A and B are shown apart, each in its own frame.
Chain A
Amino acid sequence: MHEALLTLGFGIVTAAILALSAVAFTLEYGVTNVANVSHGEILTVSAYAAYVVHQRTGSAVAAALAAALAGGLVALAMYLSVIGPFIRFGATPTVIFIATLGVSFIIQNFLVIGFGAENVAYTIDPGAPQNIGPFLLTPLDERIVLSAAAITLALYFVVSRTKFGKALRAVSQNRELARVTGINATRVAAATFFLAGLIAGYAGFVLAESVGTFNPYFGFSFFLITLTASVAGGLGRPFGTVAGAVMVGIILEFAGNYISASYNLAFAFAILAIVILVRPRGLFTNARRTVFE
């Protein structure tokens, strides 16, 4: 039982990072209806940015900020140069999906050119593990969970209370209708991507710190798990996504612990496939999706 609780605790940390990445992905999907396959690369680029800044300044805070900013800029660039133009051109979701796959590949290769393909060690002293209730967490873990919670709360306020949040929700629900009421859908989408990128960038920093090492492909692997959490929570619904992330994070942690960590991704996909087959609209709705309905 004790071990189960420990695993649960680790699961919560994984879930926290996953929630950040998944919420960002869901924001991107919500405002454009596009599954951005290069989402993982936002995390990768941000991890590199954090690493470089940390090397130069020795400050983890500066690194975190650099990661967030890099993430925001990369996401914005993705929207402005690829996703936005493809939407305006009238491409189908599948075509844009493939295009973002291509973008993902391009970014990975550019990172290899710039930094090489080898693993980069990013070690930060996590501090000594402490007992928090039934869990065993390091100060680093605590910081991760707390900052994730804080960011999620901040996001909740932005989305539900600000004018921008209102516009975001309008565009997510019905782009044409939002346009008619005078909202500049393109600007809202671009700003949302920037915001999503900030969050994903921070998640990249945290993930790299937490795992201790990364390479040009690490974001893509994490993206697959992110996708699982997002689909589980319901594509396009940010707060279902958080719930989905918590669930997936915990399940993965248990599976990794009791079966084998190297099959992690395969598990993520097994979960994803099951969710899509049984409840494609996410675990928290009643809608069934058949080929014709």
Chain B
Amino acid sequence: MSAYLVSILTEGSIFGIMALGLNVIWGWAGDFDLAYYGYVAIGAYMTLVLTIGPPVPPAEFILGLQLPYPVAVAGAVATSMAVGLVVGLIALRHLRGIYFSIVTLGAVYVMYVMAGQYVRLFDGYNGLSGLFDPMGDWFGFDYQTYQYFFLGLSLVCFVLVFLFMARISSSRFGMALRTLREDERAAAAFGRDIYRLKLKGYVLGAGIGGFAGALFAAYLSAFNPSAWSPVEVIVLYSAVLVGGRGNIRGVALGVLIMGVLVQESTRFLPQIPNHPQVVLALRGAIIGLVLVLFLRFRPQGLLPERRYIDREPAVEPAPQAT
């Protein structure tokens, strides 16, 4: 397998996990949450500060521990969930629709600005780096073999998250979340505590985002504000939309399609000398166009949400006393 293919599949698995987390908040609970990528970023940053050891001046960042990777991942997920809880507590109390989206946009912007400007946190625009081949030394892999190992790890993680999502989807908890999306008032009239339930879904989504971020940090071996660019964000949201919001298979399909689109859409264009950003910008414009077209012509995505078909025979009604 070529190195290119290995890295594509690895990145795809990680994006898949990201998309599944967003699906919980946007697909199932129905809230267009613009803060989501922030949880991914927090997961990445926290993983790094928990594994790369103390900062070497002039670099500055918090913590700087040297914990084993799995422990750092747990810490990263916990942090993402905590931040998600704070944002959710504020944004989910009274806000819906575009008001909710705007406040979450504000939240992610504050996170972005803090990460970039408040140098003491994560070394500002320099960002963090140095997470090389986590867990590679446990097994004594060389560089080549490690790529396969990490690919395998990412795929396994994706499958585990996918199965977890499948379990939630068919569980009463998942169905309750969807009743909130479908009709909140009716859900409340039938006993659901809307605020609490939405919060649970939101924190769950944030946690999955953090988990994806932890893997992403290992994949990139670094993270800084430039890895937190609009393109990544738009591709992620487009993947969930294009594939089918609310349907985990759809989301996986969406990641596949957007991944192919991103890689292949500008493959056949020549690089214009002195203007390397043109190709990237063209790709960005194409992705934006795909998003708008799907919103207009196929907002439910390619794979609509599945319904449970009850195949048991009909039950004869008990004879009524007239």
Chain A residues proximal to chain B, CB less than 8 Å: 35, 82, 85-86, 89, 91-95, 97-99, 102-103, 105-106, 108-110, 112-113, 116-117, 224, 227, 231, 260, 262-263, 265-266, 269-270, 272-273, 276-277, 280, 289-292
Contacts and interface: CB of A to CB of B under 8 A. Distances in A.
Nearest to B297: A89
B227 interface: no
Given A113-B282, A270-B110, A91 B103 contact: no
A255 B130 CA distance: 36
B57 to A, nearest CB: 22
Contact of A103 (B106, B109, B287, B292): B292
Which 6 A-B residue pairs are closest in the complex by CB-CB distance? A269-B106, A106-B288, A112-B281, A109-B285, A109-B284, A105-B288
Given A98-B295, A276-B99, 20 more contacts: A86-B296, A89-B296, A91-B296, A93-B97, A93-B98, A94-B97, A97-B32, A98-B32, A103-B292, A106-B288, A106-B292, A109-B281, A116-B275, A224-B106, A265-B113, A272-B106, A273-B103, A273-B106, A280-B94, A280-B99
A40 B80 CA distance: 31
Contacts of A98: 32, 237, 241, 291, 295
Contacts of B285: 105-106, 109-110, 113
B278 interface: yes
Contacts of A262: 113, 117
Interface in B228-266: 230, 234, 237, 241
A291 B282 CA distance: 41
Interface residues of B, number: 44
Interface string B270-313: 00000101101110110111011001100100000000000000
Contacts of B194: 291
Given A97-B98, A102-B288, A110-B285, A291 B184 contact: yes
Contacts of A290: 94
Contacts of A35: 98, 102
16 contacts: A97-B32, A98-B295, A99-B291, A102-B295, A103-B288, A105-B230, A105-B234, A106-B285, A109-B288, A112-B284, A113-B285, A269-B107, A273-B90, A276-B95, A277-B94, A291-B95
